[in-house]
Structure 1
Amino acid sequence: MNVRKFTANTSREALRMLREALGADAVILSNRNVDGKVEILAMEDGAVNALEPVSTRAEQQVPDQPRFTPRFQADAPSVARPSSVRPVVAALKPMMPAIESASSAELNNVMSEIRSMRSMLESQLAEISWSNTQKREPQKAEMMREMLATGFSASLSRYLVSKMPETEKVENGIDWIKSILSRNLSTIDNENEILEKGGVYALVGPTGVGKTTTTAKLAARCVMRHGPSKLALITTDGYRIGGYEQLRIYGKILGVMVHAVKDESDLRLALDELKNKHTVLIDTVGVSQRDKMVTEQVAMLSGADTPVKRLLCLNATSTGETLSEVVRAYQGSGLAGCILTKLDEAATIGGALDIAIRQKLMVYYVASGQRVPEDLHIANKQHLIDRAFKLKRETSAFRYLDEELPLLMAGAGVMHSGSANTFSQEVSLG
């Protein structure tokens, strides 16, 4: 193909050049503006016709129709595209997906840049805002340090501090924060929720959070209340060496039979056989929150004919980020509540309370040791919150300095700006 390009300052001049070079029957392939000038791509009519089969050329001729059409002029009449251009258009069609893909990639890059710029601006504005807050309201800055030292997340801390009424004393601010946290932390009032109502409960959670020991503690309480004949123990832990044996030893001490199940069908059969029991406790195998077996485990417990209430064991020594992952992984169709374990090993417990508040988890018990059944206590919200502030970080390496708070709030500000409405729904201030 002999494609010619004509460039001029105006459309009229470009057309004149085209006519002089190729004649009035030339076929225009494209026209566009390039650097303020008009650029026309065209080719001779004979060159276009040479692309078509000779036998069809006569049939495709359009009689009494000019082959040259100035399509870029606003006042030009609308003329059908000559059929002789079809092969050229067909040749260009395979290139269109690549062009569209390139445009889509460029658009995605632009949107990514915009999001990055927005995040940077929000971060800088949050840093500036918090620097001003430190100067204007030093008591709020002190409250922020207190909450961060207890292990509460920066986003929740900032939200509560921003809603805190003005006060001249830090003690008053702490009392207000404690009252809000206490209002939003859900705990059972007494053990009748489990010991008197009974039912089937499964303790779930990652490896090493103390599920088997906590199961034994609950079992001992049930036996003391109703006797061994009203209780049954089930284990799904066929993976760990000695996992079944550990629970079997506890069962032998309590005088309770321990049943081992492998899958959903086994669990159905076991629960059907034990339907006359007042309470059935299921000790599940520990699985990392990132393992696909979590989904299978949740499905097995949810698929049983008998309703199974799942209690999530949360390790109080874990970080808030880890606990968030655990809750999301084990949430499934819904958790009945949680048990906070290893409180005796935790340097701070604010992170665990933060997750329980944010995820609206009912806290049943807290475990603070290995003794069975002594080291299991009913969750007392006021006691837990007071303890959180008493266990605040005292090590200088982990306490935030005044100059570090704006940087920390910059990161929290980006997340907080997108979750302010979420916090208003999750945390009740009234």
Structure 2
Amino acid sequence: MKVKRFVAANMQLALKMVSAELGADAVIVSSRRTDEGMEVVASSEMLDTTDTNKQSELDRQLRLQRELEAAKQAARSSAALRQSQFDAVGAGTSEPGTESRIQNTPTSDISDARREVARMQAEKQQAEETYQTRLQEMQGELRELKDWLVSHQGSAWDTRRPLTWQQSQLWQRCQDIGLEPAWADRVVSMSDQSGDLEQAWKSALSVIQSDLPLLPQGVLEKGGVIALVGPTGAGKTTTLGKIAARFVQHNGPDSVAFVTLDNYRMAAHDQLQAFARILGVEMKVVLQNGDLAKTLTTLRNKKLVLIDSAGLASQDPHFSSQLSMLKQAGADVRKFLVLPLTSQARCLQENYEHFKPAGLNGCIFTKLDECFSLGAGLSVAALTRLPLALITDGPHIPDDLHYPDTGRLVNLAEQMARMARTRWQAAEAMNMATQQQSFQHGV
């Protein structure tokens, strides 16, 4: 709290002095007319009449200012008197008693006045420093109280572990990206929070990046037997066509063969047969309750065998038979779960649990070009430790097929979150503007 006394010829000038010295938010404590003019006492903050400590501080500062002004006036008067006496002597005036007044004037008056002024200024400076110190202590206590209140809210996923204010901000940003609460909690706890919020967020993004499991690049070039499983509409058959086309470009059509287990839907083979005809590769169909292992034996000479499966629900009676065929084919068959990034987080989780008994070796993300959030897909890979093998981002064969890069995925996830937040803010602004216009027109 800063309190000061102002004296001016009139109230208007006094208020201008208050505004220039203490700012536009200054509070007028008191005002009165004196012999000197209009006296105004102003404070830099509102004074609560019930706060005796502030009132005492106000009275003390006013007393110091009045004493300081009195001392300054005394010093000026003494200095003016001595100066006039010296001027009179220097001019050779013979005013009676002049020399005697000079001799009788105490030589220590000015020095005493100056010492008094210095003492009062030092006391006021000390009071100001004490106030600033107490203010900083109070601000620190308020920050600690804020952190305490936030920390005792805990994590939405694990309420037993409290979060600091900075951790809660990081956790919320993870939610904006779309991370599952369990993974967000792990990311926050593993991030470096020694710096400010932005530095901590960069650390959290690094944790997200390092926590994503990836298969070594080279799935396509390595060949072997690959089976794709996943829900209907995930893009399994199209992804098989992309993998086959890429392999045919480098190894020729005789190196690839298609095998389909989908005998449960009408025209289920049409798309795969079209790929086989265009690429010039062999295709075999395994009938219901057939022997997949025997079919694969006839294709030993192929460098790459791609198996297409039906996206059956777990309640479907044919699902268990299809699962049994994949298991009986042996450990040489690598099974990849195809996850469309356009699905909700809960759907992706259920798909993982649904096809987990097949013995999954990794996952493939599809429809990256159609999704608006990567958090759900990344969360499934991170929480299940199911390594990501491939990503598709369009209908073009084989161009829209890529090996994943964790850095690019994390950056893209953050960009999508920022774009979504911007869209919502713009929509909210438009909605508020529309409501205001409706109100103005009386609608």
Shift of the alpha carbon at 1:176? Answer: 1.2
How many equivalent residue pairs?
Answer: 271
| Stretch deviating more after TM superposition (233-242 or 382-391) | 233-242
Q: 8 Å contact 1:223–1:254 — kept in the other structure?
A: yes
d(CA) in 2 for partners of 1:381 and 1:291? 36
Aligned ranges 1:165-314 → 2 under 5 Å:
165-191=192-218, 193-196=219-222, 198-289=223-314, 291=316, 293-304=318-329, 307-314=332-339
When normalised by structure 1's length, the TM-score is: 0.58
Q: Which residue of 2 aligns with 1:338?
A: 363
d(CA) in 1 for partners of 2:375 and 2:153? 27
Secondary structure in 1 matching 2:154: helix
Task: Evaluate the alpha carbon distance shift between residue 130 and residue 183 of structure 1 in structure 2; reply closer, same or farther with a 3 A threshold.
Answer: closer
Gaps of 5+ in 2: 1-149, 428-443
Over the matched positions of the two proteins, sequence identity in percent amounts to 31
Aligned ranges 1:11-26 → 2 under 5 Å:
none
d(CA) in 1 for partners of 2:155 and 2:331? 53
| Stretch deviating more after TM superposition (201-210 or 380-389) | 380-389
1:371 correspondence with 2:396: yes
Q: 8 Å contact 1:234–1:259 — kept in the other structure?
A: yes
Secondary structure in 2 matching 1:243: coil
Aligned ranges 1:377-396 → 2 under 5 Å:
377-392=402-417, 393-394=420-421, 395-396=423-424
d(CA) in 2 for partners of 1:324 and 1:251? 32
Task: Evaluate the alpha carbon distance shift between residue 324 and residue 127 of structure 1 in structure 2; reply closer, same or farther with a 3 A threshold.
Answer: farther
| Stretch deviating more after TM superposition (287-296 or 329-338) | 287-296
Aligned ranges 1:112-131 → 2 under 5 Å:
128-129=153-154
Shift of the alpha carbon at 1:218? Answer: 0.4
Query: Which deviations, in whole Å up to 9, do the C-alpha atoms of 1:83-110 show, x marking residues without a partner?
Result: xxxxxxxxxxxxxxxxxxxxxxxxxxxx
Q: Which residue type is aligned with residue 254 of structure 2?
A: S
Q: Which residue type is aligned with residue 391 of structure 1?
A: M
Q: 8 Å contact 1:271–1:306 — kept in the other structure?
A: no
d(CA) in 2 for partners of 1:333 and 1:318? 21
Gaps of 5+ in 1: 1-124, 400-430
1:359 correspondence with 2:388: no
1:324 correspondence with 2:354: no
d(CA) in 2 for partners of 1:158 and 1:365? 27
Shift of the alpha carbon at 1:245? Answer: 1.0
d(CA) in 2 for partners of 1:264 and 1:127? 57
Q: 8 Å contact 1:205–1:312 — kept in the other structure?
A: yes
1:146 correspondence with 2:173: yes
Q: Which residue type is aligned with residue 336 of structure 2?
A: L
d(CA) in 1 for partners of 2:300 and 2:368? 34
Q: 8 Å contact 2:190–2:207 — kept in the other structure?
A: no
Of the two, which has the highest radius of gyration? 2
Secondary structure in 1 matching 2:408: helix
Task: Evaluate the alpha carbon distance shift between residue 374 and residue 201 of structure 1 in structure 2; reply closer, same or farther with a 3 A threshold.
Answer: same
Q: 8 Å contact 1:188–1:378 — kept in the other structure?
A: no
Secondary structure in 1 matching 2:343: coil
